[in-house]
Chains A and B, each alone.
Chain A
């Protein structure tokens, strides 16, 4: 029973860290540019398809496909930010929602056209399959790997934002665009690079997540709620908030599906509505 619970908790944390990896870029774009981007899942999907294609068509090793998934999604994000997104930073939230729903629809249709409507299989290397024994518990190797990667990436991200010059520029632009621009920071370039970084992380998450979340053209719509949820519950513009929110959501979702499968996804939606009522501005409220 206890082992069971720890197993669920472990799976939930793995799931939550994956959600965090995909959503953290969304949190930054929402906090920084005040942009409601419903198409964020599409960037994760780009990463997922890049991974699958490189694995099955070109026979690259799994680990080598992950950085490429990051780069591909980041490039797509950069191009779209430069050409389309930046036109709508000052637009109303409704316009942003409509625009990003439009992008999502196009991504879904495009993926169906290119790859067909079926689920994409992923062949993990042998060393990532099966289970390992840790302290008398059977833990999925891949999930352990997942958590490891997310911890690494998160540490790198925190270091980037807290310790580097670029990170300082990001923080300055989030806090006050006008003042940051007045200090000589090229805010529009910071926006572009941050957007690309966030898209790239989503792409990396998409590639890592094929085994956990699955991959088919409806991916951006199916998980849109989860990504938005992480940001809305966690509070936009921070790293800590989405991390906590993603872990909570991951654990509750897995536990809900494991213990009360008959109510299915109901648990997560109820949790979401309750959390939004209790914290309408997110768990971690950014200082304005």
Chain B
């Protein structure tokens, strides 16, 4: 950030943009202005409040899982770190909020902050291990940390409730006024509010020079040091931020459902998260939200079937996405738009 402010303290954006303007057809800097489509997208959850009043619980869970998927998008889609243990941070956040609440601290917002702090610190510690290796070692380290935490929560039943899960939570009313009700009305607005705020923040981050440098590292990590980027430090920051966001998502799920299960830490959750993200499309933020929504609605409708069949189709879907539809739903839509309207490419950032 500081690089863009000159000695007089004014933004030095003008000289920066000169070369870009000349080759604007080839490369575009991310545009931070909100597009019409984005505004329409954010009206959808508000509309769903009126259209599906009986499904508010599901919709809030979609938003919470959407936030979780966003956190992985930062780590995987932007920074390019393949993580198979992201649920570790989700679970850490969930257990932090859950334990606070069980022991009498039920205030939700401070619970979120503390969960973010705990998950963020854990993420910072793990990030030192993550930046050391290449893809395989990263995969193993994240997988191993996730399994370790799962084992720890499983064995420490006297704290976490073990296999039975952590129950007996009592989340205090939001702002001291809005009780978390059975129909999920408060939970709905709470999830939407937190999701939107963090999304705006994340959107700003990925469109900032820092976000651009992450993409640079993803595309060619060896060249980035040549233009003065401290690759390891940036990856650590991205991983830590992703972990903290996942912690917030976990805490929110714990607070709104008033229960933390052992599965919030498990490998299947990390794998499902990956599936949602690639289903929606990586590295584009909205992909995480679309993927989470499609996945969870599908899961909800098909849950009447045998879970084993659900798993089969999920597997098939993954194989098909990888073989034929890299980019997921949003990537496919983008291709479709370009095919119909060839000059649309210039308008897109």
Contact of A102 among B82, B155, B308, B316 (CB under 8 A): B316
Residues of chain B lying within 8 A (CB to CB) of residue A103: 315, 319
Judge if B133 is at the interface, Cβ distance under 8 Å. Answer: yes
Q: Name which residue of chain B comes closest to A267, CB basis.
A: B151
Judge if A139 is at the interface, Cβ distance under 8 Å. Answer: no
A110 to B312, Cβ gap below 8 A? yes
Give the total of B residues in contact with A, Cβ under 8 Å: 42
Contact of B148 among A93, A228, A273, A277 (CB under 8 A): A273
Judge if B326 is at the interface, Cβ distance under 8 Å. Answer: yes
B155 to A273, Cβ gap below 8 A? no
- Give CA–CA (A266, B315) in the complex, Å: 29
Among residues 300 to 317 in chain B, which have CB atoms less than 8 Å away from a CB atom of chain A?
308-309, 311-312, 314-317
Residues of chain A lying within 8 A (CB to CB) of residue B274: 97-98, 101
B267 to A91, Cβ gap below 8 A? no
- Give CA–CA (A112, B308) in the complex, Å: 7
Chain B contact residues: helix, strand, loop or mixed: helix
Judge if A263 is at the interface, Cβ distance under 8 Å. Answer: yes
Rounded to whole Å, the gap between the CB of B14 and the closest CB of chain A is 38
- Give CA–CA (A196, B328) in the complex, Å: 31
A36 to B326, Cβ gap below 8 A? no
Query: Is the interface on chain A under 10, 10 to 19, 20 to 34, or 35 or more residues?
Result: 35 or more
Rounded to whole Å, the gap between the CB of A4 and the closest CB of chain B is 24
B136 to A266, Cβ gap below 8 A? no
Residues of chain A lying within 8 A (CB to CB) of residue B141: 273, 276
- Give CA–CA (A221, B145) in the complex, Å: 16
B144 to A225, Cβ gap below 8 A? yes
Judge if A162 is at the interface, Cβ distance under 8 Å. Answer: no
Q: Name which residue of chain A comes closest to B320, CB basis.
A: A102
Residues of chain B lying within 8 A (CB to CB) of residue A127: none
Judge if B212 is at the interface, Cβ distance under 8 Å. Answer: no
Q: Name which residue of chain A comes closest to B317, CB basis.
A: A102
Enumerate the 10 nearest inter-chain pairs by beta-carbon distance, A residue then B residue, closest first.
A102-B318, A105-B315, A109-B312, A106-B315, A102-B319, A93-B135, A280-B133, A112-B308, A269-B148, A99-B322
Known: A98-B275, A236-B136. 9 other contacts (CB 8 A): A99-B318, A108-B311, A108-B315, A112-B308, A229-B144, A232-B137, A265-B147, A273-B141, A277-B132
